[in-house]
Amino acid sequence: MRRLAALALFAATQPAAAYDANGVALGSPEAAVTKNFPNATCQPLQWSSRAADRRCDDRAVVGGVNGRITFYLKDDRVQAFDLRFDTIDTQRLAAFLKGRYGAPAREDKEKLYKAEWQKDGERAVLTAQSDKRRGFFTVSRGDFEEEIYRLR
Protein backbone atom coordinates (compact mmCIF):
# COMPACT_ATOMS: atom_id res chain seq x y z
CA MET A 1 0.00 0.00 0.00
CA ARG A 2 2.82 2.42 0.85
CA ARG A 3 4.48 1.63 -2.44
CA LEU A 4 1.30 2.46 -4.35
CA ALA A 5 0.93 5.76 -2.45
CA ALA A 6 4.56 6.66 -3.19
CA LEU A 7 4.06 5.87 -6.88
CA ALA A 8 0.93 8.05 -7.00
CA LEU A 9 2.80 10.92 -5.33
CA PHE A 10 5.69 10.56 -7.79
CA ALA A 11 3.32 10.60 -10.77
CA ALA A 12 1.54 13.69 -9.45
CA THR A 13 4.81 15.63 -9.26
CA GLN A 14 5.95 14.78 -12.79
CA PRO A 15 5.36 17.15 -15.71
CA ALA A 16 2.32 16.42 -17.85
CA ALA A 17 3.01 14.09 -20.76
CA ALA A 18 0.88 15.81 -23.38
CA TYR A 19 0.90 19.45 -24.41
CA ASP A 20 -2.58 20.83 -23.85
CA ALA A 21 -4.68 23.94 -23.34
CA ASN A 22 -7.12 23.54 -20.45
CA GLY A 23 -7.41 19.80 -21.02
CA VAL A 24 -7.53 19.84 -24.83
CA ALA A 25 -4.40 18.01 -26.00
CA LEU A 26 -3.05 17.38 -29.47
CA GLY A 27 -5.05 14.53 -30.98
CA SER A 28 -8.28 15.47 -29.17
CA PRO A 29 -11.51 15.50 -31.21
CA GLU A 30 -13.44 18.71 -31.97
CA ALA A 31 -16.02 17.65 -29.37
CA ALA A 32 -13.35 18.05 -26.65
CA VAL A 33 -12.62 21.57 -27.89
CA THR A 34 -16.29 22.60 -27.77
CA LYS A 35 -16.77 20.89 -24.40
CA ASN A 36 -13.82 22.70 -22.76
CA PHE A 37 -14.36 25.92 -24.73
CA PRO A 38 -18.17 26.15 -25.03
CA ASN A 39 -18.06 29.58 -26.70
CA ALA A 40 -15.65 28.43 -29.43
CA THR A 41 -16.55 29.27 -33.00
CA CYS A 42 -15.61 26.36 -35.25
CA GLN A 43 -15.53 26.56 -39.03
CA PRO A 44 -13.74 25.19 -42.09
CA LEU A 45 -10.38 26.76 -42.88
CA GLN A 46 -10.68 29.52 -45.46
CA TRP A 47 -7.75 28.14 -47.44
CA SER A 48 -6.65 24.68 -48.54
CA SER A 49 -3.96 23.07 -46.39
CA ARG A 50 -2.58 19.60 -45.73
CA ALA A 51 -2.09 20.55 -42.07
CA ALA A 52 -5.70 21.31 -41.11
CA ASP A 53 -9.22 21.50 -42.49
CA ARG A 54 -11.03 23.24 -39.59
CA ARG A 55 -10.34 25.81 -36.91
CA CYS A 56 -11.99 26.71 -33.61
CA ASP A 57 -11.46 30.17 -32.05
CA ASP A 58 -12.25 31.38 -28.55
CA ARG A 59 -11.06 33.43 -25.62
CA ALA A 60 -9.05 31.49 -23.06
CA VAL A 61 -7.36 31.73 -19.69
CA VAL A 62 -4.32 29.46 -19.59
CA GLY A 63 -2.20 29.43 -16.46
CA GLY A 64 -3.97 32.57 -15.26
CA VAL A 65 -3.15 34.43 -18.50
CA ASN A 66 -5.96 35.83 -20.67
CA GLY A 67 -5.68 35.39 -24.41
CA ARG A 68 -7.23 34.29 -27.68
CA ILE A 69 -6.82 30.68 -28.76
CA THR A 70 -7.17 28.92 -32.09
CA PHE A 71 -7.29 25.14 -32.42
CA TYR A 72 -6.45 23.67 -35.84
CA LEU A 73 -8.03 20.32 -36.69
CA LYS A 74 -7.56 17.74 -39.42
CA ASP A 75 -9.92 14.77 -39.74
CA ASP A 76 -11.58 15.73 -36.41
CA ARG A 77 -8.30 15.74 -34.45
CA VAL A 78 -6.44 18.71 -32.99
CA GLN A 79 -3.17 19.09 -34.89
CA ALA A 80 -2.08 22.37 -33.29
CA PHE A 81 -3.20 25.30 -31.19
CA ASP A 82 -2.01 28.85 -30.81
CA LEU A 83 -2.57 31.11 -27.79
CA ARG A 84 -2.05 34.86 -28.30
CA PHE A 85 -1.54 36.89 -25.10
CA ASP A 86 -0.27 40.28 -23.89
CA THR A 87 3.54 40.25 -23.58
CA ILE A 88 3.27 41.68 -20.09
CA ASP A 89 2.13 38.17 -19.03
CA THR A 90 5.11 36.33 -20.58
CA GLN A 91 6.90 35.43 -17.34
CA ARG A 92 3.67 34.35 -15.67
CA LEU A 93 2.81 32.02 -18.56
CA ALA A 94 6.41 30.76 -18.77
CA ALA A 95 6.37 29.85 -15.06
CA PHE A 96 3.07 27.99 -15.51
CA LEU A 97 4.37 26.08 -18.55
CA LYS A 98 7.63 25.14 -16.79
CA GLY A 99 5.60 23.75 -13.90
CA ARG A 100 3.37 21.85 -16.29
CA TYR A 101 5.87 20.56 -18.86
CA GLY A 102 9.20 20.75 -17.04
CA ALA A 103 12.27 22.72 -18.00
CA PRO A 104 12.31 23.78 -21.66
CA ALA A 105 14.79 22.12 -24.00
CA ARG A 106 15.87 25.64 -25.05
CA GLU A 107 15.28 29.03 -23.48
CA ASP A 108 16.47 32.45 -24.62
CA LYS A 109 15.79 35.53 -22.49
CA GLU A 110 17.20 38.30 -24.66
CA LYS A 111 15.01 40.91 -26.41
CA LEU A 112 13.04 38.00 -27.82
CA TYR A 113 11.97 35.59 -25.07
CA LYS A 114 11.73 32.08 -26.45
CA ALA A 115 11.22 28.77 -24.67
CA GLU A 116 10.79 25.46 -26.46
CA TRP A 117 9.66 22.01 -25.34
CA GLN A 118 9.78 18.90 -27.56
CA LYS A 119 8.56 15.37 -27.04
CA ASP A 120 7.56 12.49 -29.31
CA GLY A 121 7.25 14.60 -32.47
CA GLU A 122 5.28 17.32 -30.69
CA ARG A 123 6.59 20.83 -30.11
CA ALA A 124 5.53 23.67 -27.80
CA VAL A 125 7.05 27.13 -28.27
CA LEU A 126 6.51 30.27 -26.20
CA THR A 127 7.70 33.48 -27.87
CA ALA A 128 7.36 37.11 -26.86
CA GLN A 129 9.22 40.17 -28.03
CA SER A 130 9.48 42.91 -25.39
CA ASP A 131 8.70 45.73 -27.83
CA LYS A 132 5.61 43.98 -29.27
CA ARG A 133 2.10 43.85 -27.82
CA ARG A 134 1.39 40.13 -28.37
CA GLY A 135 3.19 36.95 -27.43
CA PHE A 136 2.46 33.48 -28.75
CA PHE A 137 2.30 30.00 -27.30
CA THR A 138 2.12 27.54 -30.20
CA VAL A 139 1.81 23.77 -29.91
CA SER A 140 1.96 21.48 -32.92
CA ARG A 141 2.94 18.06 -34.17
CA GLY A 142 4.99 16.99 -37.14
CA ASP A 143 5.49 19.55 -39.93
CA PHE A 144 2.38 21.58 -39.09
CA GLU A 145 4.22 24.93 -38.98
CA GLU A 146 5.60 24.44 -42.50
CA GLU A 147 2.35 23.13 -43.98
CA ILE A 148 -0.42 25.28 -42.49
CA TYR A 149 0.01 28.31 -44.76
CA ARG A 150 1.53 26.54 -47.76
CA LEU A 151 -0.83 27.19 -50.64
CA ARG A 152 -2.07 24.22 -52.65
Q: Do 114 and 108 meet the contact criterion of CB atoms below 8 Å apart?
A: yes
For 78-88, what is each residue's pLDDT tens digit? 999 999 999 99
pLDDT tens profile 14-44:
334 479 999 999 999 999 999 999 999 999 9
Give phi and psi for 98, each to the nearest 5.
Answer: -65, -40
Q: What pLDDT shows up at residue 18?
A: 79
Give the C-alpha distances (Å, rounded to integers) separating 99 from 25, 124, 143.
17, 14, 26
The pLDDT > 70 percentage for the chain reads 84
Per-residue pLDDT tens over the stretch 68-126: 999 999 999 999 999 999 999 999 999 999 999 999 999 888 778 999 999 988 999 99
